[in-house]
Amino acid sequence: MSAIKAKHQRLVLLVIALVALVGAGLLAAWALRNQAAYFYVPSDLVARPPEPGRAVRLGGMVEKGSIRRAADGVTIDFVVGDGKARVPVRFTGITPDLFVEGSGVVAEGRMEGPTFVADNLLAKHDEKYVPREMKDMTASQAKQVVAETK
């Protein structure tokens, strides 16, 4: 019996490596299938709601006058809108400092009936946002502070 030529050995090793790489990718995708959280805006969520209990992200603007705090002090109800649709949201926990009416928010959670129950809130700021510590600084002072922190 003749030995496999070196050229064929490399080809076989390459094929095995490719199969292993594809297998690892498929295994990772299968393992993470339930961890993926899809992003919805209110109009998408109303038009095509996800199945109950599925982890999703809801992004939009907190409507003015919609924040209501419960008696327990940690539960809040508010409405997220995108100009086309509105979704009521309930969150229990400490809200981010930037969470205010009229600001952008991304809520991570799931639909429970008509209400989106958020497990986590991410407040968004506009492009003019300046940290409180830098509010009274000139542009050159702010650049100096940023340069010093690098």
Q: What is the pLDDT of residues 80-96, one digit of tens each?
A: 999 899 999 999 998 88
Look up residue 95 and give its DSSP letter: P
8 Å CB contact between 62 and 21 = no
Cα(29)–Cα(117) distance, rounded to whole angstroms?
26
Q: Quick: pLDDT tens for 40-89.
A: 899 988 898 888 888 899 999 999 999 999 999 899 999 999 989 999 99
How many angstroms separate the Cα of 97 from the Cα of each of 59, 94, 110, 120, 125? 17, 9, 23, 13, 11
Look at the block and give the residue holding tokens 């094929």.
15
Please provide residue 14's backbone torsions phi and psi, each rounded to the nearest 5 degrees: -65, -45
Nearest Cα residue to 57 out of 7, 114, 128, 108: 108
